[in-house]
Structure 1
């Protein structure tokens, strides 16, 4: 899967509080960052679907990059949502649908969906984000020296179903 690694790593790391925040009480929790990452990975890998909201601060102002979005991902490989993409100096809202490895987007000034290569917009196939073998949860298990703390820049909210 082709994707920009930095935003997705940030997304994965910021998904931890939302995923792990579904249980337990905040006052007595003494789990380590590694424990929370493992719980988040397991939750995401076991979910049939997930809804996410992604926002960013301090994102690039030039080039092509994914800077935000919201959508629903379902197993085995489906996505429907809107992604905000920086392209040609402007932020575009692209309606995106992905089914079994084929990505469609409603491009600006068009009335229908066209098959696209998502790499041209700075992201990979969003339908693969919750694939247990290749998706975002792999970033959760590969984190090194994880620490608890506040995040800055990227924020994400996931709800696994």
Structure 2
């Protein structure tokens, strides 16, 4: 191989690699993701319980409370919150009322990457009710709290 042919071959190698050996080469690239924001329950593996305790027939009013929590994508603010049933509500033959309190969200901080909305729910069984003897004992009436956007 002649000197000129060798020089030409080296020049061709340098031109095709784009850089000399040991010279870094970089290229930007895009990273994409499509987020679908959402809220999910944040109450653990069991349903929260609003417990009125023991009500004696014709007795005094009983009250109870529970906290129903949802974790949401940061900045996703629920537009409304309501029970999926409008009542009247009854457990063990006793009529009761439900109310949703106001909520101040716990916004994400530190290692928590979501906003938490914990809704206080209160209920009351009015005084003087007889109840239903056929339903005496511990009874459960399941309700649902729903948030919408």
TM-score (structure 1 length as normaliser): 0.22
Which structure's relative contact order is higher, taking Cα pairs within 8 Å and 6+ residues apart? 1
TM-score (structure 2 length as normaliser): 0.23
Rg: which structure is higher?
Answer: 2
